[in-house]
Structure 1
Amino acid sequence: MKKLLAVMAPLAIVLSACTATGTSSTTSTGAQTATQQLGMAAIKIAINAKCTTELNTLPAWQTATKVMTSTQKQNIQSEICGCVSEKAPQSVTAVDLATAALDPNARAAIVSNVVSKTINACVREAVN
């Protein structure tokens, strides 16, 4: 019985090493996907905040909201910033997502770029 254990233990170690080597590439791909997902989540949160700030500085928005109730203003603002968040994945690369997950300064630059590209189109959609 001890001889069988002595033969089986190294065989089990060798086989488990092969299995671990085979899954390391999958884990690497999974880690990249997880990083991209974290990057997208971070960007979407930052986009909503940046969108609200930029929207409130637009002269047309300031003029239009003078005649709106706070509920109307909030609903339209949510619609516009939701539109910007939906359009964000079209403007962001996988490299940007990974960078955004790890670097707050890069995330701010990416977010600013995405919001400025999409906010005007979303305002037009909301108004129409």
Structure 2
Amino acid sequence: MKKIIALFIPLTLALTACVSTGTATNTTGTTGSQSATQQLGTAALKIAINTKCTTELNNTPAWQTATRLMTDTQKQNIQSEICGCVSEKAPQSVTAVDLATAAIDPAARNTIVSNAVTKTINACVAEAVQ
């Protein structure tokens, strides 16, 4: 998985020269833009976050205890719900500067992903339990 991400980010940067920035108007009438490169970077980040979430969840003693009596299917469904939530919410806490840094520095990428997962996993677990 890390190899895919490591190959995906340089490809994303290479495609930057070929892509124009799109502009959209939201419901409040303000204008925001996100380039295709940022969208691809966010997609790659979501994959890394989902992988990190799964690892963190499986290594948490509370998760191991809570899922001890569940079937594998039940455990996987809840894990998918939690990590899907984390994958959607965590990139919101990552800045464009963080995305650029993550594309260049693998150590920074790991730190950024870890911080994003840490900030959102508890909220997503609480949502899944309710």
Q: TM-score if structure 1 supplies the norm length?
A: 0.71
In the TM superposition, residue 118 of structure 1 has moved relative to its aligned partner by 0.7
Larger radius of gyration: 1
Greater RCO between the two (CA within 8 Å, min separation 6)? Answer: 1
Please give the residue correspondences for 1:33-52 in structure 2 after superposition, counting only pairs within 5 Å.
33-52=35-54
Q: 2:116 aligned with 1:104, yes or no?
A: no
Q: Is the 8 A contact 1:38 1:101 kept in 2?
A: no
Amino acid paired to 1:72 = Q
**SS of alignment partner, residue 54 of structure 2:** helix
Task: Check conservation: 1:42, 1:101, Cα contact below 8 A.
Answer: no
Counterpart residue number, 1:61: 63
Deviates most, 95-104 or 67-76: 95-104
**CA distance change for structure 1 residues 43 and 97 in 2, over 3 Å: closer, same or farther?**
same
Aligned runs of 1:1-128 on 2, under 5 Å? 30=21, 33-128=35-130
**Aligned residue pairs: how many?**
102
The alpha-carbon deviation at position 103 of structure 1 amounts to 2.7
Q: CA deviation at 1:94?
A: 1.2
Report the alpha carbon displacement of residue 29 of structure 1 after superposing the two structures with TM.
5.8
State percent identity of aligned pairs. 78
Normalised to the residue count of structure 2, the TM-score between the two structures is: 0.70
Quote the offset at 1:35 in angstroms: 2.9
Instruction: Please report the RMSD computed on the Cα atoms of aligned residues, expressed in angstroms.
Output: 2.1
Give the CA deviation at 1:36.
1.7
Unaligned runs of 5+ in 2: 1-16, 22-33
**Counting strand residues as a fraction of each chain, which structure ranks higher?**
2
* SS across alignment from 1:98: helix
What is the alpha-carbon distance in structure 1 between the residues aligned to residue 44 and residue 107 of structure 2? Answer: 12
Gaps of 5+ in 1: 1-25
Greater mean deviation of Cα atoms: 96-105 or 37-46: 96-105
Alpha-carbon distance in structure 2 between the residues aligned to 1:111 and 1:104? 10
